[in-house]
Chain A
Amino acid sequence: MPLDPRSALRAAISVPGVPRDADGPVFREPWEAQAFAMALALHERGVFTWTEWASALAAEIKRAQAAGDPDTGETYYRHWLSTLERLVADKGVTTTDTLIRYRDAWDHACDRTPHGQPIGLTPADFSH
């Protein structure tokens, strides 16, 4: 399935709150664009519908607000990322433990990579 600006625009319209302009989504930081693109890829693969995504995201935002999130719009993509993590676990794509293991491995990879060198994962990054 194409991961293209047209399907991205459709996603930005289908999901409430996505910051956008006339062409499609806009982002505050580079990682937000990555998180958006991953959700789009999973949607195109049929992992979830936008309706399903929107309600999972709404639930995530509600939980965050209950925990004191100021909901200024600046945290929108944080909730988006948490929703991604939660949904891929719920759908059996992966597990929360796996995500944590990979997060820690990347953290280790960063620590041992001299500044400016490409950061890559090696098996040894998982044994810390």
Chain B
Amino acid sequence: MSGHDHHHHDHDHSELSETELRVRALETVLTEKGYVDPKALDLLIETYEKKVGPRNGARVVAKAWADPAYRARLLKDGTPAIAEVGYAGRQGEHIVALENTRQRHNMVVCTLCSCYPWPVLGLPPVWYKSAPYRSRAVSDPRGVLADFGVSLPKDTEIRVWDSTAEIRYLVLPMRPTGTEGWSEEKLADLVTRDSMIGTGLAKNPGEVK
């Protein structure tokens, strides 16, 4: 029994900032003229995954693992709890933390426009832009997870969440075993971008030195 997969959607239109519009215009024109190859650009940009923005999310997750009171605050109301570690989002933006458990795995699909909370999550993965990925994440989340090398117990329910203009999501991954007594700083090294959007799990202690 895999449980049913929920899908939330919002019909507000997409948003890009003035600067993002100019960047897109330039990229489209240069691509059409054959000066740049968007795939090569994306490949390079992926190498900067850990070099963009403050990446506060890893600290938020580590704190939630280490501090039960903080975890409770985060799950009750994500926005002020995330602000405690120094990230204040744009006005009107609300961040909801989704807790992964043995019973339920959460996965977020919308990263297509300005709504992606990169100060928390870091650079969006390039494959998120692809329409086939997106529709498959909704219709076959287990298959998408398998493509990323993640296999969950058959009875773990998978929920797919779609950000709206007002709500962004942060997945709180399960704390890896064998990390008892670790400091928040050390725990933060286990938190990957993919684990915070639910397309991956947190690293195991053996994967970091």
Contacts and interface: CB of A to CB of B under 8 A. Distances in A.
B28 interface: yes
B3 interface: no
A110 B9 CA distance: 17
Contact of A115 (B21, B37, B115, B134): B115
Interface in B11-26: 11-17, 19-26
B29 interface: yes
Contact of A85 (B10, B26, B129, B131): B26
A99 B32 CA distance: 12
Nearest to A84: B26
Contacts of A32: 52
B41 A3 contact: yes
A19 to B, nearest CB: 10
B45 A34 contact: yes
Contact of B110 (A26, A112, A115): A115
B132 to A, nearest CB: 10
A110 B14 contact: yes
A83 B147 CA distance: 40
B51 A27 contact: yes
Contacts of A119: 14, 16, 112-113
B118 interface: yes
The interface size bin for chain A is: 35 or more
Given A41-B41, A114-B11, A27 B52 contact: yes
Contact of B44 (A40, A88, A110): A40
Nearest to A4: B44
Contact of A106 (B21, B30, B45, B51): B21
A34 B41 contact: yes
Given A3-B43, A116-B10, A21 B29 contact: no
B30 A42 contact: yes
Interface residues of B, number: 52
B88 interface: no
Nearest to A20: B51
Nearest to B41: A37
From DSSP, what is the main secondary structure of chain A's interface residues?
A: helix
Contact of B20 (A31, A45, A100, A102): A31
A59 interface: no
Contacts of B53: 27-30
B51 A25 contact: yes
A41 B30 contact: yes
B14 A37 contact: no
Contact of A37 (B11, B45, B118, B164): B45
B29 A102 contact: yes
B5 interface: no
Contacts of A25: 48, 51
A100 B29 CA distance: 11
7 contacts: A3-B44, A5-B47, A28-B53, A81-B23, A99-B25, A105-B25, A110-B14
Interface of A: 3-5, 8, 21, 23-35, 37-38, 40-42, 45, 47, 78, 81, 84-85, 88, 93-94, 98-100, 102-103, 105-107, 110-119, 121
CB-based closest 4 A-B pairs: A102-B25, A103-B25, A116-B110, A115-B12
